[in-house]
Structure 1
Amino acid sequence: MSETADDRVTAAVLVIGDEILSGRTQDTNTRDIARYLGVIGIDLAETRTVPDVMQEIVDALNALRSRYDYVITTGGIGPTHDDITADAVALAFGVELYEHPDIIAMMAARWGGEVNGARRRMARIPVGGDLVKNPVQGPPGFTIGNVFTLAGVPQIMRGMLEDVGPRMRGGRPTVSRTVRVEGSGEGVIAAPLEAVAKAHPDMSLGSYPFYGADGYGSNLVLRSRDADQLGEVVVELIAALKGAGIENVVEVVAA
């Protein structure tokens, strides 16, 4: 059975922060989100990185949330002046922000006494939104519509994902298999690879070359939600490669 549009659930990641664009901080959150979503059958279809500029965040968020089933934002929900993600999400949805009493109570219990103005910024969520649990430390994130707004700190973001996943409509998980070709470059394997890819447009087929002291070649990775079809296409691809005179071909079996 081939994949249909109804089988596919999509998501986008919007990474927010000048520190990512400047190179001062490496974005590992997108990688972790992609892996997490893949397990529950959701395709990460697009990622964008924007600076701490209100209108750029709003424009990107509106574009992504209208195109995909879900959007996950990371970064910009801390206590400083440039943490403007909550403001931007509220503006995108045309609602106000308010201080959530549960967050204020949690902060008061954790830090004791009156919660200062900087920390109160982290208690604001859009009207109509719900909280996303933070099992690590600090205030929670929030969700509104099809948007989940999470922290930028990787450890905290990963903890929040555990509350996000069960709220999403998952699809059929993607299965992958790898065919390894040694001693032949991409120029040699291109024709049979293209023929198989064109015959199966609903399947992802990528070529990833490798070079090293032990030789060179390509790992051909096939991905599909239909395990039976995937197995048939692996056999077809190996036959096509060997039919083109490429002999050193083997499927890589995961350990």
Structure 2
Amino acid sequence: MPKTVTACVLLIGDEILSGRTRDSNLAYIANHLNKIGIQVREARVIPDVEETIVAVINEVRARYDYVFTTGGIGPTHDDITADAVAKAFGVPIGHHPEAVKILGDHYKATGGEFTAARMRMARLPEGATMIENPLSKAPGFQIGNVFVMAGVPMVMQVMLDSLTGRLEGGATMQSRTVTGQIGEGTIAEKLGELQAKHPDVGIGSYPYYRGRTFGTSIVMRATDSTELERVAAEVAALMREFGVEPQTGEPA
């Protein structure tokens, strides 16, 4: 039976906490990782505060197989993620020769000035390996089981895509959805009994409203497809007990 491989996602940035920037990275990361058998078990949004980043990195890297961070590796004074990660691992940080060359060649080719601020993006913690960035060239990096990526969604996505060969997946989480025009309060008790009967399958209840109609989608998640199908069938049968004809998938 495939092993379970877990991950935590850290979204770093005051702009997310303030509401100025709406995050889209978490959904992409979770979907991407699930496809290769890595289950995101936790996600946090934390500020650009060094001691917070250090403490949280050290906490979650000990708890999960992988940690993925986004944000805070740009050229400005408030881009402190790389420094904080280096501090968390207890190693110095400095200019990585290959990163300096990549960025230098990029700015030479594009006519931009390779300023001291931009040089900051070539700094990696000692012992880290680069994560390729085909778009803007400034690399992310991996140190231990921590992968540090950009906050800009397009850049983060190409960085994550380039990591597939480095990541070891395990059991892939699968899901099934059964929907019916029934209030979740009506089936809540029976649904709780069903969950107790099948502890290895996560069962979630999600009400919806479509104009004057309402109903509930029951989403089941598990790594065992046989058990998942069994529970989905039982949920459908439960709805029929209440006189509701279920449908597979999300509400129309």
Displacement of 1:166 after TM fit?
2.0
Whole-angstrom distance in 1 between the partners of 2:82 and 2:250: 45
CA distance in 2, matches of 1:7, 1:239: 32
TM-score, length-scaled by structure 1: 0.92
The equivalent of 1:229 in structure 2 is: 227
**Residue of structure 1 in register with 2:123 after alignment:** 124
The 10-residue stretch of structure 1 (131-140 or 111-120) with the greater mean CA deviation from structure 2: 111-120
Task: Read off the aligned partner of 1:40 and give its amino acid letter.
Answer: I
Structure 1 position 154 matched with structure 2 position 169: no
Shift of 1:253: 8.6
Question: How far apart, CA to CA, are the structure 2 residues paired with 1:61 and 1:253?
Answer: 36
Among candidates 3, 7, 16, match of residue 3 of structure 2: 7
TM-fit CA distance, 1:250? 2.8
Q: Which residue of 1 aligns with 2:139?
A: 140
SS of residue matched to 1:135: coil
- Structure 1 stretches of at least 4 aligned residues deviating more than 3 Å after TM superposition: none
Partner of 1:251: 248
The residue type equivalent to 1:236 in the other structure is E
What does the per-residue CA deviation read over 1:137-196, in whole Å, with 9 as the maximum and x for residues that have no partner?
A: 2311000000000000000000000122221110122221111111x2111010121111
Is residue 219 from structure 1 mapped to residue 213 from structure 2 by the alignment? no
Moved more, 231-240 or 141-150: 231-240
Distance 2:56 2:201 in 1: 29
Deviations 1:3-62 (A, max 9, x none): x8x721111111111111111111111111011111111111111111111101101111
Letter in 1 for 2:117: A
How many residue pairs match? The answer is 248
CA distance in 2, matches of 1:219, 1:50: 32
CA RMSD of aligned residues (A): 1.8
For structure 1, the 5+ residue unaligned runs are none
Match of 2:138, SS?
A: coil
Q: For 2:87 and 2:29, locate their aligned partners in 1 and report how far apart those are by CA, in whole Å.
A: 25
- Distance, in Å, in 2 between the alignment partners of 1:203 and 1:17 is 34
Paired letter, 2:244? E
Deviates more, 1:116-125 or 1:232-241: 232-241
Which residue is 2:207 aligned to?
Answer: 209
- Give the 3 Å change call, closer, same or farther, for CA 253–77 of structure 1 in structure 2: closer
Between the aligned partners of 1:68 and 1:144, the Cα distance in structure 2 is 14
SS, match of residue 244 in structure 2:
coil
Q: Percent identity?
A: 47
Secondary structure of 1:7's counterpart equals coil
Deviations 1:173-221 (A, max 9, x none): 2221111111x21110101211111111111111111012251101111
Match of 1:177 in 2: 176
* Residue pair 2:239, 2:245 contacting (<8 A) in 1 also: no
Per the TM alignment, residue 109 of structure 1 is displaced from its structure 2 partner at its CA by: 1.2
Does residue 93 of structure 2 align to residue 97 of structure 1? yes
Quick one: which of 69, 72, 86 aligns to 2:82?
86
Stretch of structure 1 that moved more, 17-26 or 151-160: 17-26
Does the 8 Å CA contact 1:209/1:218 hold for their aligned counterparts? yes
Matched, 1:73 2:66: no
Counterpart-to-counterpart distance in 2, 1:175 and 1:167: 23
Aligned residues of 1:10 and 1:69 also touching (Cα < 8 A): yes
TM-score under structure 2 normalisation?
Answer: 0.93
Residue 241 of structure 1 and its aligned partner are, at CA, apart by: 3.3
Task: Specify the SS of the correspondent of 2:163.
Answer: helix
Verify the 8 A CA contact 2:179 2:250 in the aligned structure 1. Answer: no
Residues 1:192 and 2:212 aligned together: no
Q: Which amino acid aligns with 1:56?
A: T
Alpha-carbon distance between aligned partners in 2 of 1:140 and 1:212, rounded to the nearest angstrom: 45
